[in-house]
Amino acid sequence: MDFLTIIQLLDSTIRSATPLLLACLAGLYSERSGIFDIGLEGKMLAAAFFSAAVAYMTGSAWMGLGAGIAASMVLSLIHGVASINFRGNQLISGVAINFLAAGMTVLIAQDWFAQGGRTPSLMSGGRFEPITLPFADALAGVPFLGPIYAELISGHSILVYIAFAMVPLTWWDLFRTRFGLRLRAVGENPESVDTAGVSVIRLRYAAVIICGVLCGIAGAYLATGLQANFTKDMTANRGFIALAALIFAKWRPWYALYACLLFGFLFAIETRFQNIELLGFTLPVQFVQALPYILTVVILAGFVGKAIPPRAGGEPYVKER
């Protein structure tokens, strides 16, 4: 395997990991505050549809992004109302959101565009085009570092850089700010937060809204960054893989980055190689395609140690009288 192949493999890793990373961080905020969220998939799907539809109608990718975030936030708030105010079962609410998004997007798309649940292809202004970082072309000739900068780091859409910037930001937010301390506390022991005179409900809503924003960016990246239209079920279970990555990362931002990059890398290998020759054996492509899932089971079964979710996760908070 030559150097260029490795660069291309890593480049593909970054593209595959970006939607996972955004969804994973979205889940991290929500679950750290004690709201389990298996509706990441549905929120991404709704965001993908509305970003593609609005970007097509306005011709602006940024308007599309805004619409995607808004759609995802609406679903987040539904989840919030169900699980915070009405103290409903968070898993059931999440499943409902997935179903709602899968059905509604196709229905609305058919009604608006009559193309069978697809949105029309976007022209160049409606998409997040790859951006070339400064000096990328000039430095491309530099041995070793040149290709890394020009091929790997440069040449992604702005949303990729936003996603990767979210990792340190999330870390700082969770572990270095007052908001982060309270957010983590509300997921572990909401009574103590309440005793300190901080509103549990307000904190949990804040987390759920941040979750909506990040899922919105993830969906918009799929539909207007990687693709140029929405197609039915285009998230293809990425929301659930992000959820696996979150558990894998034990609800910590840097580990979430590593977990998502690992999954992205496995997807990149799977798309690049059909059958892999290894020590004289041929690994069939079916095995390579199953690898991310096998890995999830194996790693969760013992390698990362015990993944302990936030203690108050899934429990609606009832104020004591």
Contact set with other proteins (CB under 8 A)? 5, 8, 12, 15-16, 115-118, 121, 222, 226-229, 231-234, 236-237, 267-268, 271-272, 274, 285-286, 289
Residue 15 C-beta: closest distance to other proteins, Å: 7
Rounded CA separation 14/9 (Å): 9
Residue 190 C-beta: closest distance to other proteins, Å: 38
Query: Measuring CA to CA, which residue among 256, 228, 190 is closest to residue 23?
Result: 256
With respect to other proteins, which residue has the nearer C-beta, 189 or 289?
A: 289
With respect to other proteins, which residue has the nearer C-beta, 159 or 222?
A: 222
Query: Which runs of consecutive H residues, i.e. helices, occur in 189-237?
Result: 190-195, 200-220
Residue 16 C-beta: closest distance to other proteins, Å: 6
Whether 25 and 239 have beta carbons less than 8 Å apart is answered as no
With respect to other proteins, which residue has the nearer C-beta, 5 or 177?
A: 5
Structure tokens at 14: 């970054």
Structure tokens at 95: 């499943």
Rounded CA separation 185/178 (Å): 11
Residue 274 C-beta: closest distance to other proteins, Å: 6
Query: Measuring CA to CA, which residue among 273, 65, 262 is closest to residue 159?
Result: 65
Residue 170 C-beta: closest distance to other proteins, Å: 24
Mark 39-66 as b/e (b = at least 16 C-beta within 10 Å): bbbbbbbbbbbbbbbbbbbeeebbebbb
With respect to other proteins, which residue has the nearer C-beta, 64 or 117?
A: 117
With respect to other proteins, which residue has the nearer C-beta, 236 or 298?
A: 236
